[in-house]
Structure 1
Amino acid sequence: MPIPTVKLAGKEVGHIGLGLMQLTWTPVPPPEEQAFAAIKAAADAGATAWSSATFYGPQDDQMANVALIGRFFAKYPEYRSKISLVLKGGVGQGLKPTGDKDFNRECLKKAKELLGDYEIDVYLPARLVGGVDPVEYFRPFDELRQEGWFRALGASEASAATLRKLSGVYDIAIAEIEVSLWSWEQDIQDVVAWSTETGKPVFAYSPLGRGFITRTWKTPEDIPEGSFQRHSPRFQGDNFYHNLKLVDVLDEIAARKGITTAQLAIAWVASRGPNVIPIPGSSNAARAAANTESGSITLSADEAKEIDDILAKFELKGGRYASNAELML
């Protein structure tokens, strides 16, 4: 059964999307054929909105993710017309945000070369810069849109107030922000409310809590060196074991419903608003398909209330980002 769809930048896309970051920006990326199998499985199940970035790769190959997509399209050209690509940029040396128009133009030029005959649907600055007027910061990005480098402009990790300010000047096609059963703070809820008000979709990244909700690691020491999670307070020491108590409860609810905890988590994120598009990522084809099929799972009113009541009472320990990265929010 096809999963429901959402409108993104004028196109119908699956209500569950696909995050591609972990296929290239991870300590040990999967073999290419394995990555292709996972991408294909997700797309075949209905994940037709993809999230990538011009910096999802090692320092010496930051365009690795875009290049991977280009090679996928070269091997499977029939998917070009099915996919809407949301590409983050505006990140320079040392992963520092930059709105420099020439720099971003060069990134887009290289991305188009790697993608081949493909029109980028949405381009968005990955982060804003503190103390800079967001309207002015977005101006060069919108000028690049007008030059024809991509079809629509998006925003990432912007507050609801900032999104409203930007929307008064630019047509913001999508907002990307972390949304999950352990990332549901008030500022995130406000962005989802903006989405519901405007009808503009939200790309909900890390809907599985960066692997925590699926018990990817049993102890903090299991997390590989070089992983983001090694620096996230929620994955550290006693915080790790305390936060696992939330997963214990989610496992019970999922078992009663006859679905995986991952599917429960993704379905919950999708239920936050009519235009919320979870973008789970996986290098495993079977899991990629199962994640996408979560779009057809409906939570009953009682199930939703049970989860909401648990979240209201459970106090997660640790922030989303390390203290030296808080400015990235």
Structure 2
Amino acid sequence: MTTVETTRLGGTASDVVVAKVAHGLMMMTWRPKPIPDEVAFESIKAGIDALPPNVKMFLNSGEFYDNNWSTGNLELLSRFFEKYPEYADRTFLSVKGGILPYKGGHPGFSASPENLRRSVENSNKALRGTKKIDLFESARVDPKIPVEDAMRSLKALVEEGLIDHIGLSECSAETLRRACTVVPVAAVEIEISPFSWEEETKKVLAVSKELGVAVLAYSPLGRGFLTGSIKTLDDLEADDPRRRFTRFKPENFQHNFVVVDRLKAIAEKKNISPSQLCIAWVGSLGDKVIPLPGSSHKTRTLENLYGGNVELTSGEKAELDKLIEEFEVKGDRYFGADPKTTFLWG
């Protein structure tokens, strides 16, 4: 068995050892046609089976990772753990929540004590007792409620035994610092990739390092763009949600593909895939920076996982840093909306 690189989480979970690369599960269910259970289960198992018994696979799910913002992703996990109960203790499960009950359109988010309790209880109900929520994150920072109050609400749920640890998602560096005055945050989830390397991201990493918080770097492959497998928009199904992202728009696609070609050339010289190169670069940003790619198939899960083993030379790192800093990516991280209205940084 190839040895897999590991790291530790932060805050109240600093004793937990996980694989250096986590496993995002969102796209197993948040798609027009969900991945069949048997395929999804093999994808999840593959990552866990590659680890020694004392290392946990970090699984990232959400209360709303399904069509119509439902609990389908957690229900998939409940079926997985019912079939493979011995895998429950070998995983560390993170669940994002805090959405408002779905009534059509975008449901919005709320960090009120009542809604956070409802969200946690709803997530636990979907898991049906097969697995405890190791880490709970509000999917966005609620601008109407001080983060200190939200953390106190979640701390109460920890004390009740409903969840074990608390994380943050899409928060600013200052919000993270304020949150840690209430309870040591175990992990903060933000987008990091060669496509997404903003100034606020760098500040979050700096504060996380200072305070000992792990960083979950989601979409390290630019939602699949940076893998090189999507060569034209025709490679995406007509109803693929990525067509809505500004970086995938026809007027931006070919311009942004220049980065893919450059990454592919560097990867080929190193005899690794572009995906593994991106994961290695993200992982090189800090000991507690954990790349969080999504995968729905066994081969991709293992390719991603072993990307955490790739070591970049100083020359390779400098070449990548220069490319990422100098190339101007066209389009933003989401749909071109004002970040303040979509809570991308709270």
Aligned residue in 1 for 2:343: 328
In 2, the alpha carbon distance for the partners of 1:27 and 1:299 equals 38
TM-score where L is the length of structure 1: 0.94
TM-score where L is the length of structure 2: 0.90
Q: Secondary structure at the match of 2:227?
A: coil
In 2, the alpha carbon distance for the partners of 1:107 and 1:164 equals 24
Aligned residue in 2 for 1:146: 159
| Alignment deviations for residues 19-78 of structure 1 (CA, whole Å, 9 cap, x no partner) | 00000111222111111111111222347011111000111x711111111111111111
Q: Is residue 2:29 matched to residue 1:28? A: no
Which stretch of structure 1 is more off in the superposition, 274-283 or 209-218?
209-218
Aligned residue in 1 for 2:91: 83
Give the C-alpha shift of residue 227 in structure 1.
3.4
- Out of 114, 124, 131, the position equivalent to 2:137 is 124
- Supply the AA of the counterpart residue of 2:33: V
Give the C-alpha shift of residue 263 in structure 1.
0.6
| Alignment deviations for residues 155-182 of structure 1 (CA, whole Å, 9 cap, x no partner) | 0000111101111122211100001111
In 1, the alpha carbon distance for the partners of 2:300 and 2:132 equals 29
> Does the 8 A contact of 1:195 with 1:273 survive in 2?
no
The gaps in structure 1 that reach 5 residues or longer are none
Q: Is residue 2:113 matched to residue 1:101? A: yes
- Supply the AA of the counterpart residue of 2:43: A
Q: Is residue 2:54 matched to residue 1:39? A: no
> Does the 8 A contact of 1:27 with 1:224 survive in 2?
no
Give the C-alpha shift of residue 221 in structure 1.
4.6
> Does the 8 A contact of 2:97 with 2:139 survive in 1?
yes
| Alignment deviations for residues 265-301 of structure 1 (CA, whole Å, 9 cap, x no partner) | 1111111111011111111211111110111111111
Aligned residue in 1 for 2:257: 244
Q: Secondary structure at the match of 1:168?
A: coil
Q: Is residue 2:66 matched to residue 1:53? A: no
- Supply the AA of the counterpart residue of 1:52: S
| RMSD of equivalent CA atoms | 1.7
Q: Percent identity?
A: 39
Which stretch of structure 1 is more off in the superposition, 223-232 or 66-75?
223-232
The gaps in structure 2 that reach 5 residues or longer are none
Q: Is residue 2:192 matched to residue 1:176? A: no
Aligned residue in 2 for 1:207: 220
Aligned residue in 2 for 1:294: 307
Aligned residue in 1 for 2:236: 223
- Out of 72, 76, 85, the position equivalent to 1:64 is 72
> Does the 8 A contact of 1:90 with 1:98 survive in 2?
yes
> Does the 8 A contact of 1:19 with 1:279 survive in 2?
yes
In 2, the alpha carbon distance for the partners of 1:217 and 1:256 equals 21
| Structure 1 residue runs of 4 or more that deviate by more than 6 Å after TM superposition | none
